[in-house]
Structure 1
Amino acid sequence: MISTDRDSGGFVNVTLDGEAKLVHEGQYLVRDLKGALGVKGSLTQHVGGHAHALADDDPLLVVGGESFSTR
């Protein structure tokens, strides 16, 4: 994780392959988020009906409600 204040951020829900997952709210590198979610392969984010492939070094702010897939 890059810079998450775990004392104030708390946990938020994201969706991974249609299943709800809890992660800490905050700024991640994609590789760190993959570790938190238990993902070993690629990660794709879904926003507004569009799929966006994520690179391991991409920064990503997780605030809750994000949708991801591993396919």
Structure 2
Amino acid sequence: MESGKQQVNGVGFFQMPLHYPRYTMKDYSDMPEWKLDRLLAEYGLSAEGDLDYKRRFAMGAFLWPDFHGVNQ
């Protein structure tokens, strides 16, 4: 069974991993496909698609917008 996914009395549920990934855009751009697959699977996300799609998906899912310089 994939990490993060569990069964209790036949009912499946997702348990969020303890740590949020702390990768930069460059890290995702250079990350090998197997590592992207593991990262996405750990969070219960689909690893379907080509390497470019997986990289863009991971960046969209895990990178927060840069709010520096925005008036508050």
**TM-score, structure 2 as length reference:** 0.25
- Say which structure is richer in helix: 2
